[in-house]
Amino acid sequence: MECEACEAGKLAEQFETDALSGFVLARASAGLADGTIRGDVGHLDQIRSWFGRPLWDMEPADADAYFGKVLRGSPNGTRLARSQALSTYFMFL
């Protein structure tokens, strides 16, 4: 049973990586600059690190906590860029 849980975890991790790769490819196909895509992925990675789970598990209350509490003292541009990256990622999914 323990091996099945390990395998399921690996599959979920691979799917998350594939989803992010698809996001990057879609953004590149849309003609966005590499720096813009890198910035989006960096923002998503920072949100993911805080959240500790795949981003598709994020609920509105989680986003409220992140943007309202964690980033409260951050510059407006940082909050805007992260929220736009997250919103675009959810539209992609």
SS3 readout for 45-91: HHHHHHHCCCHHHCCHHHHHHHHHHHCCCCCHHHHHHHHHHHHHHHH
- The pair of structure tokens assigned to 22 is 């698809």
Joined tokens for residue 92: 């992609």
If you ran DSSP here, which 8-state letter would residue 19 be given? H
Q: What is the pTM of this model?
A: 0.87
Residues 44-66 pLDDT 10s: 999 999 999 999 999 999 999 99
pLDDT at 40 over 70: yes
Confidence of residue 72 (pLDDT cuts 50, 70, 90): very high
Q: Which residues contact 3 (CB under 8 A, 6 or more apart)?
A: none
Q: Are 86 and 44 in contact (CB under 8 A)?
A: yes
